[in-house]
Amino acid sequence: QSALTQPRSVSGSPGQSVTISCTGTTSDVGGYNFVSWYQHHPGKAPKLMIYDVSQRPSGVPDRFSGSKSGNTASLTISGLQAEDEADYYCCSYAGSYSVVFGGGTKLTVL
């Protein structure tokens, strides 16, 4: 199972919006509505931000939103804040009780 494809880095200024893409295949992203996104600050545990493509867990700000079209999922962060600076990983169900992660995207808040 190959890792999902994410841009290595994205950046934006406070208050702006950024979108992180996550491209897979029909065997993972395109085949299931089970894409999740994780925020990871180095040295800490990852945090679930989006599940089921577009659902937010309780406590996650509505500045974070997710979507999917075909084999590509996207995470959009609007109203960027300094604390959003982190690594972001997408993850997709890939069948037979397996998942695959994306390579990760480093978000820099300028």
Partner 1 sequence: QVQLVQSGAEVKKPEASVKVSCEASGYTFTSYGISWVRQAPGQGLEWMGWISGYNGNRNYAKKFQGRVTMTTDTSTSTAYMELRSLRSDDTAVYFCARWELTTTSFDYWGQGTLVTVSS
- Catalog residues that contact partner 1 under the rule CB under 8 A: 1, 3, 32, 34, 36, 38, 40, 45-48, 51-52, 55, 57, 87, 89, 91, 93, 96-104
Tokens of residue 83, six digits: 């604390």
**Residue 45 or 82 having the CB closest to partner 1:** 45
Sign of the C-alpha dihedral computed for residues 68, 19, 91 and 63 taken in this order: negative
Q: Give burial (CB, 10 Å; 0-12/13-18/19+) of 8.
A: exposed
In the complex, minimum distance from the CB of residue 100 to partner 1, in angstroms, rounded to a whole number: 7
Q: Cβ 48 to partner 1, closest distance in Å? A: 5
For 2, other C-beta atoms within 10 Å of its C-beta total: 11
The answer to whether the CB of 11 falls within 8 A of the CB of 18 is: yes
Question: CB-wise, 10 or 99, nearer to partner 1?
Answer: 99
Shortest Å distance, C-beta 5 to partner 1:
11
